[in-house]
Structure 1
Amino acid sequence: MITTVTLNAAIDKTYYVPLFTQDSVMRVQRFYAEAGGKGINVARVISQLGKSVLATGFVGGFNGRFIRQELDRQRIQHDFVEVAGESRLCLNIINESDGGSTEILEPGPVISDEAMEQFGEKLKMLAKRSIVVCFSGSLPAGVPKDFYAVLVSMAKREGAIVLLDTSGEALLRGAEAAPFMIKPNEQEAAQLIGETLSNGLEIMKRLATLERMDIPCITVSLGSEGSLVYFQGAYYRVQPPLIDAVNTVGCGDSFMAGMAVCIAEGKSIEESLSYATAVGSANALNEKAGYVNKVDVDELLKLVQIERL
């Protein structure tokens, strides 16, 4: 089983308006609302790929009930810790006249010490049953900056392979617990090494030599240009297929889903990176974040290029 962790779950709501203007009344042409947060996106894609997955984390209030109901509707197993307050709503307004977007993000609930302790016990139980545990997204209010490091260490002690996808100080602290894989972008990778380098491969090499980072797999996301990857002493460049992207939100989460599936199945690093890249590209063909079609994945997989450097 694969477990995904979303500590700051949300309802992702998208409005489409013909023309977005300030200080005016606008009629929404169409909209949708989804259970969201990066880890939930990962879980949804894993489920769409036909694999067993369970989503966990914190939820609260009416929005938390909606998140649970949506996962039930999509037949995704879940086991959340209920917290006081209201899970956040993230609103994205798409201006159909020019394709621009405006995001309004709620802060979400403050997590109590009791809820953190309760989640720690739940994670131990779930990690013991899981081959892979994926931690994705931002930290909610109330938790310490090293919370990911604590949770990563906890899951590793229970025998799970741990993947971490976060940013900022949460990534800096979380990396110190040596998860199996991290997925920074170039800017985040520069933060990890404490300096800015213009060459992506140089960033990779500096990351791999940091003594405090005993991390077997580091993938540096280059957006539409693919990724640079360090894995156990070897370096790879992965080039995604050229596509007409409809939406790029959720591509990184879909990549994580593909990696989790392959790692859980014991695939080689080359197979894992190729498949994960195809899954991420398949997400870009869908309007909604965290949605892929297996037929698209299989076709795109034939077009992924991977090179050992």
Structure 2
Amino acid sequence: MILVVCANPALDRLLVLPELHLDGVNRTSHVEITIAGKGINVARALRTMGVESHLFLFLGGDNGNKVRSGLSQEDLPFKSWPTLGETRITTVIHEEKRNRHTVINESGPLVSFESSLALIHSIEKKLKPNDYLILSGSLPRGVRRDLYSVFIDIAHQKKAFSVLDSSGAPFSLALKSIPFLIKPNVKEAEEVLGFAILSMDDKIKAVQFFQKLKIPFIILSDGPKGLVVGYHDEVFIVKADNTIKGGGFAIGSGDTLVGGVVARLSQRIDFRDAIKYGTACGLANTFCSGAGVFNLDMAHQLMEHIVIENYYSSKRG
């Protein structure tokens, strides 16, 4: 089973316009409202792959009811606990001429101690050996900043695998508990490491830093520039070959990547194949406007164009 914690879900409001003019009037060519939040994106991607997952969320107000309705319509199993305010709205502005995204995140509602404790107890009860627990996205106000660390400790106790995809304090505080897999992007890694990641050497250095923390599986993403992956004592460079260019919609591609990797790992498939599959699914997501939405046949075709280069192994000295 794959359990997905999405502590700070949202309604995504995508505004598509030719170009954003600051301090002026803008008109959209397309508006799309979907349920979102990184964990929901992961669950949606897993559903497309034919892999079952179960979501755990905090939801509140009319927006929360819309998220509940959307999850039911998409046939995404979930369990939720109430918040002390409205579930947040995330506004995404996509400029067609510049192929550029601007994301405006609300901070989200306040969550009570009782709701936080109920979530922890539910995960403790539900998680079984060899399950995957995906901890995805930001944390809402009111919950302890080290909540993900608590979940990772539970995963260790249950002999399950924890997957961390967050940023800021929730990410950095959780590292001490040694999750099985982390997926920071370059900016998120910079916040933890305290140095700019500008070159391939910097990316390798970043991955090796996380390896020194004894984290078994590291995926450092850098958008169209590809991935640097650490697996135990090895480092790999992963990218699409020169015949492939991604589409214009980057939102949710990292979540789709996580879903693809975990889907294959949960099926006990080799980590190299898991990386190829996840990368191809994430790339396929860039051709669709929805987060966690992609064409599975396209992803299978793109797998043939994903190149994995073994950069370093401490076994070789």
| TM-score (normalizing by structure 2) | 0.89
Offset at residue 145 of structure 1 (A): 1.8
**Residues 224 and 246 in structure 2, CA contact (< 8 A), matched pair in contact too:** no
1:302/1:77 Cα in 2 relative to 1: closer, same or farther (>3 Å)?
A: same
Pairing 1:128–2:91 present: no
1:84/1:281 Cα in 2 relative to 1: closer, same or farther (>3 Å)?
A: same
Q: Distance in 1 between matches of 2:220 and 2:21?
A: 37
Count how many residue pairs are aligned between Structure 1 and Structure 2.
306
The superposition leaves residues 218-266 of structure 1 with CA deviations (integer Å, 9 ceiling, x where unpaired) of: 1111221211111111111111242241211111101100111011111
Pairing 1:48–2:48 present: yes
The one-letter code matched in structure 2 to 1:238 is: V
What is the root-mean-square deviation in Å for CA atoms of aligned residues? 2.1
The one-letter code matched in structure 2 to 1:139 is: L
1:136/1:246 Cα in 2 relative to 1: closer, same or farther (>3 Å)?
A: same
Offset at residue 96 of structure 1 (A): 4.5
Offset at residue 84 of structure 1 (A): 2.2
Q: Distance in 1 between matches of 2:124 and 2:152?
A: 10
The one-letter code matched in structure 2 to 1:207 is: F
Structure 2 alignment gaps of length 5 or more: 312-317
1:33/1:187 Cα in 2 relative to 1: closer, same or farther (>3 Å)?
A: closer
Instruction: State the match for 1:77 in structure 2.
Output: 77
Q: Distance in 2 between matches of 1:101 and 1:294?
A: 24
Q: Distance in 2 between matches of 1:3 and 1:174?
A: 18
Q: Distance in 2 between matches of 1:50 and 1:122?
A: 24
196, 205, 208: which is aligned to 1:205?
Answer: 208
| TM-score (normalizing by structure 1) | 0.91
Instruction: State the match for 2:296 in structure 1.
Output: 294
**Residues 133 and 155 in structure 2, CA contact (< 8 A), matched pair in contact too:** yes
Q: Distance in 1 between matches of 2:129 and 2:34?
A: 27
Pairing 1:4–2:7 present: no
The one-letter code matched in structure 1 to 2:306 is: V
**Residues 258 and 276 in structure 1, CA contact (< 8 A), matched pair in contact too:** yes
Q: Distance in 2 between matches of 1:22 and 1:164?
A: 36
**Residues 99 and 248 in structure 2, CA contact (< 8 A), matched pair in contact too:** no
1:32/1:202 Cα in 2 relative to 1: closer, same or farther (>3 Å)?
A: same
The superposition leaves residues 69-118 of structure 1 with CA deviations (integer Å, 9 ceiling, x where unpaired) of: 11111111111122221100112233445555444332211111111111
1:79/1:243 Cα in 2 relative to 1: closer, same or farther (>3 Å)?
A: same
1:301/1:113 Cα in 2 relative to 1: closer, same or farther (>3 Å)?
A: same
Pairing 1:305–2:310 present: no
Instruction: State the match for 2:226 in structure 1.
Output: 226
Q: Distance in 2 between matches of 1:36 and 1:263?
A: 24
Q: Distance in 2 between matches of 1:33 and 1:177?
A: 36
Identity of aligned residues (%): 29
**Residues 18 and 96 in structure 1, CA contact (< 8 A), matched pair in contact too:** yes
Task: Tell me which stretches of 4 or more aligned residues in structure 1 moved more than 6 Å.
Answer: none
Q: Distance in 1 between matches of 2:205 and 2:100?
A: 34
Instruction: State the match for 2:114 in structure 1.
Output: 114
**Residues 246 and 283 in structure 2, CA contact (< 8 A), matched pair in contact too:** no
**Residues 17 and 96 in structure 1, CA contact (< 8 A), matched pair in contact too:** yes
Offset at residue 53 of structure 1 (A): 1.1
Q: Distance in 2 between matches of 1:196 and 1:283?
A: 28
Structure 1 alignment gaps of length 5 or more: none
Instruction: State the match for 1:93 in structure 2.
Output: 93
